[in-house]
């Protein structure tokens, strides 16, 4: 079996400063097989890809391609050696201002020994060859900007194939494709597999993985947590390995809802997704868990008025609720601590109290003039409540650590009473102490409102929630009370076992 | 007062090295460097030339920067929301031409002229804002297009000629209207301030507008939200702010301020001169950008803009009184701007705000 291993990695290690990202990775990719790489955020997937594609260099360990050692210093060198990467961001793989034909052979225009002038007819001819080899049915004279995302993705892959690679890395290739578009991509992947390419396929989507995987490697904390290649593949085992085994024990006093606050019925978030219902009551903390890309953020932002649902009705305190803007949601008492605080939470030029009062300035204003003393007093209360480490409420946000910045963004929405508080990945990039402070405060203050958390990490959900909902493919597929969680069923649901749940 | 309040409720985290940094020479230089430079310049010119240190010279400097200062305060509003307005210069000259047209050719009074100008400024600002927010044209390109459009448009009613009382109209008749005395007073009246006839109306307008926009940006919730929009648009949206409305308002403010500058220009010149106002845009933008460096703000701010305009005025007046030739003026302005920008982005940027 060793002879047919096209690509071998042995003991690969990589650190960024004190942060050890890869701790000895060893794996093999074989010709004509699709190896799926799974891993949560921060498990080291992208670092591994970057080392394989020549963007980063490994600190230790070695790679080999066939019989030759493989240690690319630049992406171009990796490509010449036969390892080609199609990156997650589709537009990195194509040049929007040029037509499809030029894109397909773009790399050939760059090599040494090429003339200064190019012959459009020859470009067409070469591009046609590439396209027919890949079964690409796209108008070659079209501008790339006119193509759909899926077609752009196809062009990027076909362009990569023009190098006749031995190894192809596809980094979450379906993350921005619809399910029918993804189907075309899978056909292309099968074509590549049939041509004997070793494919490393990185994805979170269980439906993709079920569709294309020949074997699965789970990555956790920079180590291989599991290799699954016996048919039928053990998908739940792979998810379990990726999420870790230290699940189960939770020390929280489970609360049940006192009275209903929010109800949704027939809610449909994406084309082709199953509609679902959702009910939330006062006093309970509900966590929605599921892999990346299953629609958790979509649901959070739909409840907050950033998107509207395709179908379905929502009610808040017995009255119809269909917010068109975040402002309307806030007026109704629905607050969202959004994911990725740097992008959607923090105003970097503002200090702590200005960040905290941001959504509530009208309440802190008198004839349009902001009352800073009141803002600062409110901010000081929140700082003490959540144990934010800072000199004063006038500190710039940039001077705070990540955990404290997150405390400030959570404190912003805790500073006023709400009917429903939604937190999307509130523990991302937060150390354990800060996570504990935030979770404690959330549970303490939950009595009068509904609290909904969106968490990819299962142990975070088990640690903080009374009730756990599981999302998969833009719908809710399971529900568990924290006091008696059936871990096997929960993991199966996370891994997309909707059929088993329904049965 | 802050520290004792904070001491009760804030979890103290004494970080001695940070406290040390706050009072270091480098931070003092960042905070007060530009103001010290301005004071130094004033002292230097007062000693080096005769007559610089007089109320009249001070007022003259203020008058020389009044129109560009008003435009700069307007463009500051668009900078605050993360935009830019290149059309302010041509809005001002369009307003000037409109004022002349309304009084000289349409024979209306000063009030009608002023209202017409303000309406033009507000309308152009509104169109700019709508194009940027709803047509998603980048701000620089949208306002650049508007600049060209207005430069051309203001010449069409008079077939490319300047407007003055008694001019010959395209149909051969003579214009009957004149600039009204009340309108000209905006450019020429001087208020008594300790000394008789000291302060020109334009300077009073500048000071009033500067205080207004400063208060608006610093102390009202609308100003705070505009800063939030400029600093992190998504975060402002997620905090419930109507982001587009704030942006459009910023361009309306910019347009109205520019039209006020145009009114004062018309009142000073007493005619609608198609050749004037060429430098307004660049001078105003320079003042607003120099303002980034004042008090180490590293962001657009009304106080900084006013100081920036004043800085350029002091420098040019001083150099003129020292007989430095006029043609070096643009070079001096450019040099000050480059130094201020380097100061802002290299020094402050490394400091992490």
Q: Across all residues in chain B, what is the average pLDDT?
A: 87
B233 touches A at CB < 8 Å: no
pLDDT confidence tier of residue B109, bands split at 50, 70 and 90? very high
The per-residue pLDDT for B22 is: 52
Closest of A460, A496, A463 to residue A477, by C-alpha: A496
Query: What does the pLDDT average to over A139-166?
Result: 79
A187 touches B at CB < 8 Å: no
Q: For residues A129 and A182, what is the distance between their CA atoms, to the nearest angstrom? A: 24
Q: Which of A248-257, B24-33, B189-198 is the most confident on average? A: B189-198
User: Is residue B322 included in any domain, yes or no?
Assistant: yes
Percent with pLDDT over 90 in chain A: 25
SS3 labels along chain B? CHHHHHHHHCECCCCHHHHHHHCCHHHHHHHHHHHHHHHHHHHHHHHHCCCCCCHHHHHHHHHHHHHHHHHHHHHHHHHHCCCCCCCHHHHHHHHHHHHHHHHHHCCCCHHHHHHHHHHHHHHHHHHHHHHHHHCCCCHHHHHHHHHHHHHHHCCCCCCCCCECCCCECCCCCECCCCCCHHHHHHHHCEEEECEEEEEEHHHHHHHHHHHHHHHHHHHEHHHHHHHHHHHCHHHHHHCCCCHHHHHHHHHHHHHHHHHHHHHHHHHHHCCECCCCCCCHHHHHHHHHHHHHHHHHCCCCCHHHHHHHHHHHHHHHHHHHHCCCCHHHHHHHHHHHHHHHHHHHHHHHHHCCC
pLDDT at residue B130 above 90? yes
pLDDT confidence tier of residue B328, bands split at 50, 70 and 90? confident
- Which has the higher per-residue pLDDT, A262 or B31? A262
pLDDT confidence tier of residue A18, bands split at 50, 70 and 90? low
Query: What does the pLDDT average to over B250-276?
Result: 94
pLDDT at residue B37 above 70? yes
User: Is residue B327 included in any domain, yes or no?
Assistant: yes
User: Is residue B181 included in any domain, yes or no?
Assistant: yes
User: Is residue B265 included in any domain, yes or no?
Assistant: yes
pLDDT confidence tier of residue A499, bands split at 50, 70 and 90? very low
pLDDT confidence tier of residue A97, bands split at 50, 70 and 90? confident
Query: What does the pLDDT average to over A435-446?
Result: 87
Q: Which of A58-72, A112-126, B157-171, B243-257 is the most confident on average? A: B243-257
Tens of pLDDT, residue by residue over A226-270, are 888 887 878 878 887 777 655 444 456 667 777 889 999 999 998
pLDDT confidence tier of residue A117, bands split at 50, 70 and 90? low
The per-residue pLDDT for B144 is: 96
Query: What does the pLDDT average to over B145-166?
Result: 91
pLDDT at residue A305 above 60? yes
ipTM higher than 0.90? no
Q: Which residues pair with A83 in a beta bridge?
A: A167
User: Is residue B93 included in any domain, yes or no?
Assistant: yes
Nearest Cα of chain B lies from the Cα of A348 at a distance, in angstroms, of 7
B16 touches A at CB < 8 Å: no
User: Is residue B9 included in any domain, yes or no?
Assistant: no
Contact B222 A368 (CB under 8 A): yes
Tens of pLDDT, residue by residue over A40-85, are 766 788 888 888 888 888 888 888 888 888 888 888 888 888 888 8
The per-residue pLDDT for A68 is: 85
Residue of B6, B13, B299 with shortest CB distance to A389: B13
Query: What is the extent of the structural domain holding B166?
Result: 33-42+53-350
Domains along chain A with CATH numbers: 2-243 (3.40.50.300), 247-333+418-503 (3.40.50.300), 346-417 (no CATH)
B224 touches A at CB < 8 Å: yes
- Which has the higher per-residue pLDDT, A5 or A156? A156
Q: Across all residues in chain A, what is the average pLDDT?
A: 83
The per-residue pLDDT for B28 is: 81
pLDDT confidence tier of residue A427, bands split at 50, 70 and 90? confident
Contact B240 A329 (CB under 8 A): yes
pLDDT at residue B14 above 70? no
State how many domains chain B has: 1
pLDDT at residue B258 above 50? yes
The per-residue pLDDT for A166 is: 87
Q: For residues B224 and A328, what is the distance between their CA atoms, to the nearest angstrom? A: 20
Nearest Cα of chain A lies from the Cα of B333 at a distance, in angstroms, of 28
Query: What does the pLDDT average to over A429-450?
Result: 84
User: Is residue B345 included in any domain, yes or no?
Assistant: yes
pLDDT confidence tier of residue A115, bands split at 50, 70 and 90? low
Contact B240 A330 (CB under 8 A): yes
User: Is residue B3 included in any domain, yes or no?
Assistant: no
Residue of A326, A365, A370 with shortest CB distance to B238: A326
Tens of pLDDT, residue by residue over A408-417, are 999 999 999 9
The per-residue pLDDT for A111 is: 60
Q: For residues A62 and A75, what is the distance between their CA atoms, to the nearest angstrom? A: 17
The per-residue pLDDT for A360 is: 92
Contact A350 B231 (CB under 8 A): yes
Contact A349 B227 (CB under 8 A): yes
The per-residue pLDDT for B336 is: 87
Among A66-75, A431-440, B11-20, the minimum mean pLDDT is found in B11-20
The per-residue pLDDT for B34 is: 86
Q: Which residues in chain A are closer than 8 Å to B299, comparing Cβ atoms?
A: 349
């Amino acid at each position: 079996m060793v002879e047919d291993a096209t690509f071998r990695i042995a003991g690969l290690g990589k650190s960024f400063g004190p942060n050890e990202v890869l701790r000895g990775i060893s794996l093999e990719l074989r010709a004509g097989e699709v190896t799926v790489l799974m891993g949560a955020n921060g498990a080291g997937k992208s670092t591994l890809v970057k080392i394989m594609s020549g963007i980063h260099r490994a600190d230790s360990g070695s790679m080999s391609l066939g019989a030759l050692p493989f240690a690319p210093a630049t992406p171009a060198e990796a490509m010449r050696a036969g390892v080609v990467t199609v990156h997650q961001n589709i537009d990195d793989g194509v040049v929007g201002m040029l037509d499809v034909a030029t894109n397909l052979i773009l790399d050939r225009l760059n090599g040494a020994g090429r003339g200064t002038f190019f012959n459009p007819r020859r470009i067409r001819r070469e591009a046609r060859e590439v396209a027919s080899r890949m079964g690409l049915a796209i108008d070659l004279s079209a501008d790339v900007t006119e193509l759909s995302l899926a077609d752009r993705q196809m062009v990027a892959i076909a362009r990569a194939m023009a190098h006749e690679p031995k190894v192809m890395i596809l980094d979450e290739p379906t993350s921005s494709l619809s399910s029918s578009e993804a189907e075309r991509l899978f056909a292309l992947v099968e074509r590549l597999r049939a041509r004997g390419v070793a494919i490393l396929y990185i994805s979170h989507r269980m439906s993709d993985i079920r569709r294309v995987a020949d074997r699965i490697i789970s990555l956790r904390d920079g180590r291989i947590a599991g290799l699954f290649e016996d048919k039928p593949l053990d998908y739940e085992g792979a998810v379990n390995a990726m999420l870790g085994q230290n699940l189960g024990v939770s020390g929280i006093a489970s609360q049940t809802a006192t009275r209903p606050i929010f109800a949704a019925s027939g809610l449909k978030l994406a084309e082709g997704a199953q509609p679902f219902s959702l009910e939330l009551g006062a006093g309970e903390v509900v966590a929605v868990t599921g892999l990346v890309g299953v629609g958790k953020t979509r649901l959070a932002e739909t409840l907050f008025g950033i998107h509207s649902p395709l179908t379905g009705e929502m009610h808040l305190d017995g009255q119809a609720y269909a917010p068109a803007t975040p402002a309307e949601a806030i007026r109704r008492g629905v607050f969202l601590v959004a994911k990725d605080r740097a992008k959607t939470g923090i105003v970097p030029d503002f200090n702590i109290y200005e960040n905290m009062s941001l959504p509530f300035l009208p309440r802190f204003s008198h004839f349009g003039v902001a009352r800073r003393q009141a803002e600062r007093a409110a901010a000081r209360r929140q700082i003490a409540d959540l144990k934010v480490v800072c000199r004063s409420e006038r500190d710039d946000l940039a001077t705070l650590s990540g955990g404290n910045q997150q405390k400030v963004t959570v404190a912003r929405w805790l500073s006023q009473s709400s009917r429903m508080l939604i937190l999307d990945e509130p523990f991302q990039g937060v150390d354990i102490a800060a996570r504990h402070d935030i979770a404690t405060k959330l549970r303490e203050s939950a009595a009068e409102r509904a609290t909904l958390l969106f968490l990819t990490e299962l142990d975070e959900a088990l640690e903080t929630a009374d009730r756990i909902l599981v999302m998969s493919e833009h719908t809710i597929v399971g529900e568990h009370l924290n006091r008696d969680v059936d871990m096997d069923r929960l993991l199966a649901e996370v891994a997309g076992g909707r059929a088993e749940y329904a049965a | 007062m802050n520290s004792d309040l904070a001491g009760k409720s804030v979890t103290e985290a004494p970080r001695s090295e940070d406290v040390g940094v706050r009072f270091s020479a480098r931070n003092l230089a960042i905070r007060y460097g530009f103001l010290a430079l301005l004071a130094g310049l004033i002292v230097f010119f007062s000693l080096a030339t005769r007559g610089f240190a007089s109320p009249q010279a001070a007022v003259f400097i203020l008058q020389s920067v009044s129109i560009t200062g008003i435009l700069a305060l307007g463009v500051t509003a668009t900078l605050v929301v993360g935009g830019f307005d290149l059309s302010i210069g041509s809005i001002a000259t369009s307003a000037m031409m409109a004022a002349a047209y309304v009084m000289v050719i349409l024979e209306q009074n000063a009030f009608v002229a002023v209202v017409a100008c303000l309406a033009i400024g507000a309308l152009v600002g509104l169109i700019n804002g709508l194009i940027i927010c709803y047509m998603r044209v980048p701000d620089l390109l949208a306002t650049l297009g508007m600049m060209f459009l207005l430069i051309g448009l203001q010449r069409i009613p008079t077939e490319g000629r300047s407007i003055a009382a008694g001019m010959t109209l395209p149909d051969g008749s003579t214009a009957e209207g004149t600039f009204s005395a009340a309108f000209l007073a905006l450019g020429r009246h001087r208020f008594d301030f300790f000394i008789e006839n000291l302060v020109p109306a334009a300077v009073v307008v500048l000071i009033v507008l500067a205080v207004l926009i400063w208060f608006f940006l610093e102390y009202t919730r609308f100003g705070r939200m505009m800063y939030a929009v400029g600093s992190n648009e998504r975060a402002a949206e997620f905090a419930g702010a109507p982001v587009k409305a704030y942006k459009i308002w910023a361009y309306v403010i910019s347009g109205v301020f520019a039209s006020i500058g145009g009114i004062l220009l018309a009142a000073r010149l007493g005619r609608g001169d198609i050749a004037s106002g060429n430098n307004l845009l660049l001078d105003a933008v320079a003042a607003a950008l120099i303002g980034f460096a004042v008090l180490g703000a590293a962001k657009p701010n009304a106080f900084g803009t006013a100081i920036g305009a004043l800085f350029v005025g002091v420098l040019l007046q001083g150099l003129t009184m020292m007989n430095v030739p006029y043609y070096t003026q643009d070079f001096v302005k450019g040099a000050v701007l480059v130094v201020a920008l380097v100061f802002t982005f290299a020094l402050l940027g490394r400091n992490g705000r």
